[in-house]
Amino acid sequence: MTGQMTGATTEVADRRTRPWRPQPAALGAAAPPDRESLAVQTHGLTKRFGSQVAVNDVDLSVPRGAVYGFLGPNGSGKTTTIRMLLGLVTPSAGTREVLGLPIPQRAGEALHRVGSLVEGPAFHPYLSGRANLLRLDAADVRADPRTAAHRVDAALDRVGLLAAATKRYRAYSLGMRQRLAIAAALLAPRDLLVLDEPTNGLDPQGTREVRSLIGSLAGEGTTVFVSSHLLSEVEQICTHLGVMREGRLVAQGGVAEVRGTGTARLRLQTAQPADAARVLTGLGVTEVTVDEAPDGTLVTGIPGALAAEDIVDALVRGSVGVRSFTVGVPSLEDLFVSLTGEGFDVSG
């Protein structure tokens, strides 16, 4: 296992209400997968720091071969959860298994098959990128020293740093330092890769390269557990999601499954927004919002039992002229806001 750690934060995020709110309990309806099919599994995982509960009764299920996006506002417990998975923090309660093996009882067997980057890289500033990786490789008792140079150069090449291998670490940009940390996690074959904000500090090109790297690793069978604040990136690379709020796991499952828990969104343009709102309210639709734009646009959530054609029929019978009518599944950003009450950085 590689990766560097800093102190975990337990800042509690502010709450804000939103017009619609999915029901994450529905995600637990399916039968739980067997332990052999999971790369990471926890039951009741809890961590307290004094009177502060940083992680509260978390049950993670990360399928083998998945790219699992771990989302949540700052202070929601993501990094503390990751540190407990890697045996770097002792839980206050609960159990955890990595690659089917209990932690910490069989950590030695499990964690050498895990590569990690947690919270940020930390290397010797006066050594080159290659020299830093050679030192890390030498600390691995399972690594063959005769092939160390080949492994290090292969890892550097994979993250696009081979040309800068002899440059001192202190001269690396933030993005280059992040790449070097990912290279450190790839010095040996890994069954599980745990990445905390892997695109931090990267320019758009570097972000695309990391996205491609994650995709290629997943294609080779490596399970990737990635914590990120870039929803656009998560949506492009992840097959599964877990969403944290104030220390609790509030949603989990495949991307389509999690997104499907959100209420469908209706967007209606009409010259009679007040009349349209009255008709929609009569159908049981709540939280109708009229956009500030002068085109009479209404936005609302649609109850699952209400069909779009029934809404159109009611509007026509109510003598409401309809300029446009669209219904769509909520975006990942909408879902995140509804689950956590937080805004989010969706830049990519």
Span 303-340, pLDDT tens digits? 555 677 888 888 888 888 888 877 766 667 666 666 66
Residue pair 187/140 in contact by the 8 Å Cβ criterion: yes
**CA 231 – CA 253 distance, rounded (Å):** 16
Q: Nearest 5 degrees, angle CA 243-CA 261-CA 322?
A: 125
296 assigned to some structural domain: yes
Residue 70 covered by a domain? yes
Same domain, 273 and 184: no
- Report residue 14's pLDDT band, with 50, 70 and 90 as the boundaries: very low
One domain for residues 241 and 284:
no
Q: How far apart are CA 111 and CA 191, in angstroms?
A: 10
Residues 220 and 95 in one domain: yes
For position 330, what pLDDT does the model report?
64
**17 assigned to some structural domain:** no
Neighbours of 240 (CB within 10 A): 20
Average pLDDT of the segment spanning 295-302: 63
Residues 172 and 220 in one domain: yes
User: Which residue, 317, 320, 284, 315, is CA-closest to 301?
Assistant: 284
What's the pLDDT band for 31 if we cut at 50, 70, 90?
Answer: very low
Q: Is 122 exposed, middle or buried (0-12, 13-18, 19+ CB in 10 A)?
A: middle
Per-residue model confidence as pLDDT tens digits over 179-236: 899 999 999 989 999 998 888 777 888 788 888 888 888 888 999 999 987 777 787 8
236 and 279 belong to one structural domain: no
CATH of the domain at 169: 3.40.50.300
The mean predicted confidence, pLDDT, of the chain is 80
- Are both 242 and 296 inside the same structural domain? no
What whole-number distance in Å separates Cα of residue 206 and Cα of residue 175? 8
Q: What is the DSSP letter of 45?
A: E
Same domain as 312, residue 173? no
Residue 9 lies in a domain: no
Hey, how many other C-beta atoms are within 10 angstroms of the C-beta on 25? Answer: 10
Tell me the backbone φ, ψ of residue 167, rounded to 5 degrees. Answer: -75, 140
For residue 294, pLDDT beyond 90: no
Token pair of 286 as six digits: 């709540």
Same-domain pairing of 295 and 238: no
Q: Give the SS3 label for residue 116.
A: strand
- Residue 143's CB is within 10 A of a number of other CB atoms, namely 16
Domain membership of residue 154 (yes or no) is yes
Residues 212 and 268 in one domain: no
Say if 65 falls within a structural domain: yes
Are residues 97 and 205 both part of a single domain?
yes
Structural domains counted in the chain: 2
Residue 122 located in a structural domain: yes
CA distance 221 to 223: 6
Rounded Cα–Cα distance for residues 24 and 258 (Å) = 8
- At residue 265, the 3 state secondary structure works out as strand
One domain, residues 242 and 308: no
- Higher-confidence residue of 299 and 125: namely 125
83 in any annotated domain: yes
The answer on 273 and 253 residing in a single domain is: no
- Which range of residues forms the domain containing residue 268? 264-328
Three-state DSSP class for 147? Answer: helix
> In the listed set 231, 259, 287, which residue is the last one of a domain according to the structure?
259
Angle of CA points 223, 226, 232, to nearest 5°: 120
Residue 293's domain is classified under what CATH number? 3.30.70.100
pLDDT (mean) for 258-285 = 77
User: 215 CB contacts (<8 Å, ≥6 apart)?
Assistant: 67, 237
